[in-house]
A and B are shown apart, each in its own frame.
Chain A
Amino acid sequence: MASMYYSELALDHAESPRNVGVIQEADGIGVEMNPVCGDLLTLFIKVQDGHIADAKYQIRGCAGATAASSVLSELLIGASLEDAGRITFQSVLDALGGLPPSKLHSAALAEVALKKALAYYQSRGTR
Chain B
Amino acid sequence: MPDRLIYLDHAATTPVRPEALEAMLPYFSEQYGNPSSIYRLAQEARKAVDEARQKGARILGCRPNEVIFTSGGTESDNTALKGVAFAARQWGTHIITSAIEHHAVLHTCQFLEKFGFQVTYLPVDGEGIVDLRELEAAITDQTVLVSIMYANNEMGAIQPIAEMGALIKSRSRALGRSIAFHTDAVQAAGALDLNVTRLGVDLLSLSAHKFYGPKGAGVLYLRRGTPFLPQQQGGSQERFRRAGTENTPGIVGTAVALELAVAEQEEVSRRLSGLRDRIIREVPRRVPDTRLNGHPTRRLPNNVNFSFEGVEGEPVLLGLDFAGICASSGSACTSASLEPSHVLTALGLSADLAHASLRLTLGRDNTEADVDYLLETLPGIVARLRALSPLARSAD
Residues of chain A whose beta carbon lies under 8 Å from any beta carbon of chain B: 1-3, 6, 11, 14-15, 17, 20, 31, 36-42, 58-66, 101-102, 105
Given A37-B355, A38-B312, A39-B312, A58:B318 Cβ within 8 A: no
Binding site for A on B (CB under 8 A): 310-312, 314-315, 317-319, 321-322, 331-333, 335-336, 338-339, 351-352, 355, 385, 387-392
- What B residues does A14 contact at CB under 8 A? 315, 318
| Inter-chain contact B333/A58, CB cutoff 8 Å | no
Q: Nearest chain A CB to B381's CB is how many angstroms away?
A: 10
B336 and A2 contact, CB distance less than 8 A: no
The chain B residue with its CB closest to the CB of A58 is B390
- The answer to whether B314 and A63 have CB atoms under 8 Å apart is yes
Q: Roughly how many angstroms separate A38 CA and B315 CA in the complex, as a whole number?
A: 13
Pairs of residues from A and B, 6 with the lowest C-beta to C-beta distance, nearest first = A58-B390, A60-B389, A62-B333, A42-B390, A62-B314, A102-B336
The answer on a CB contact under 8 Å between A38 and B390 is: no
Across-interface contacts of A38 in B (CB, < 8 A): 312, 351-352, 355
Is B322 a contact of A62 with CB atoms below 8 Å? no
Nearest opposing residue in chain B for A103, CB measure: B333
Alpha-carbon distance A1/B327, docked complex (angstroms): 10
CB-CB under 8 A from B332, the residues of chain A are 36-37
Bound complex: CA of A31 vs CA of B389, how far in Å? Answer: 12
Q: Cβ of B390 and Cβ of A60 under 8 Å apart?
A: yes
A14-B315, A14-B318, A66-B315 are known; give 16 further A-B pairs, CB within 8 A: A2-B317, A3-B318, A11-B318, A31-B390, A36-B338, A38-B352, A39-B312, A41-B390, A58-B392, A59-B390, A60-B310, A60-B312, A60-B391, A61-B312, A101-B336, A102-B335
Residue of B nearest to A60 (CB): B389
Q: A20 — which chain B residues lie within 8 A by C-beta?
A: 387-388
A120 to chain B, nearest CB (A): 16
Given the complex, which residues of A lie within 8 Å of B338, measured CB to CB? 36-37, 102, 105
